[in-house]
C-alpha cells in the first residue's frame, strides 16, 4: 500500500494499521481488496472521513492519501511528511503528532 499524507491541524492523533489491502484507522477497517489494477474508487464512495483523495490500484499497490492530524507544536516531519510505502502488515509508523513539551529549567537560588 502506498500512502501519501495530507497534514491537518486536529485535536488528536490517529492510529493506522494495514493488513493486505485493508487499512484500519482508529479501529474502523476499509477493505480495498476488490479494487482491480487501474481502477479508481472515488473518495466519496469509500465513505472514509480520513481519505483526502480517491483510492487507486497502480502497479499492484493500493494508493491513497490520508489526512494526517497534527498538533499545534507539530515537528517538521508531520508538517511536510514523506509518502509511506507499507511493506508488511501491522501498525503504520506516522510522524509524531506534536513535539513533547520540554521541562522548564529550574531556577538557581542563591546560597
pLDDT tens digits for range 9-53: 999 999 999 999 999 999 999 999 999 999 999 999 999 999 999
- Cα-Cα-Cα-Cα torsion 5, 10, 13, 19, nearest 10 degrees, comes to -40
Alpha carbon distance 78, 6 (integer Å): 9
Tell me how far apart the alpha carbons of residues 100 and 20 are, in angstroms, rounded to a whole number: 33
Instruction: Please tell me the predicted confidence (pLDDT) of residue 63.
Output: 98
**Which residues have a Cβ under 8 Å from the Cβ of 14 and sit 6 or more positions away?**
25, 26, 50, 67, 68, 69, 94
pTM, entire model: 0.86
Amino acid at each position: 500500500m502506498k500512502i501519501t499524507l495530507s497534514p491537518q491541524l486536529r485535536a488528536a492523533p490517529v492510529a493506522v494499521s494495514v493488513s493486505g489491502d485493508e487499512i484500519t484507522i482508529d479501529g474502523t477497517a476499509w477493505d480495498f481488496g476488490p479494487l482491480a489494477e487501474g481502477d479508481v474508487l472515488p473518495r466519496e464512495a469509500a465513505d472514509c472521513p480520513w481519505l483526502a483523495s480517491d483510492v487507486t490500484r497502480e502497479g499492484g499497490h493500493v494508493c491513497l492519501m490520508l489526512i494526517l492530524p497534527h498538533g499545534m507544536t507539530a515537528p517538521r516531519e508531520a508538517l511536510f511528511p514523506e509518502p509511506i510505502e507499507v511493506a508488511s502488515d501491522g501498525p503504520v509508523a506516522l510522524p509524531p503528532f506534536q513535539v513533547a513539551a520540554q521541562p522548564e529549567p529550574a531556577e538557581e537560588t542563591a546560597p
